[in-house]
Amino acid sequence: MELTCCCVLLIQDILVGLLRLRKCGKNVTCPELMGKCSIVRELHVYGTAVPVHGRDADKLQHQGYGTLLMEEAEGIATREHRSTKIAVISGVGTRHYYRKLGYELEGPYMVKYLK
């Protein structure tokens, strides 16, 4: 059985961000996802693109909303999925972001062991 959930962040009825989380099933073949693992399938913060090191108080990106969604996903993975780790597929350009959140590279995934 696979459990899937979505975390949606709304501000004044405006969709700010979305995260889709899945508990990995027992038939998983990737060694990085074996055991009690949940995986972030999608993470989006919507709005006009802002440069990585840029800030614009009028824009939604780089305001901490992605971090809030990741923290909520980690809590759901721990409490509801009973996972001991969480993984996310990450392109080279976003690995630094996940490292700041405590994730480490394992194969093609950024992985964080949960307490």
Q: How confident is the model at residue 44 (pLDDT cuts 50, 70, 90)?
A: confident
Full set of structural domains in the chain with CATH? 4-113 (3.40.630.30)
pLDDT higher than threshold 60 for residue 1: no
**HSE value, Cβ hemisphere, 13 Å, CA-based, for 62:** 13
pTM comes to 0.80
Looking at residue 25, its pLDDT comes to 87
Are the beta carbons of 112 and 86 closer than 8 angstroms?
yes
User: How do residues 51-91 score in pLDDT, each as one tens digit?
Assistant: 666 665 666 666 678 899 999 999 999 999 999 999 999 88
At 7, the amino acid letter reads C
Residue with tokens 């690995």: 95
Give the model's pLDDT for residue 103: 98
Can you give the length of the chain in residues? Answer: 115
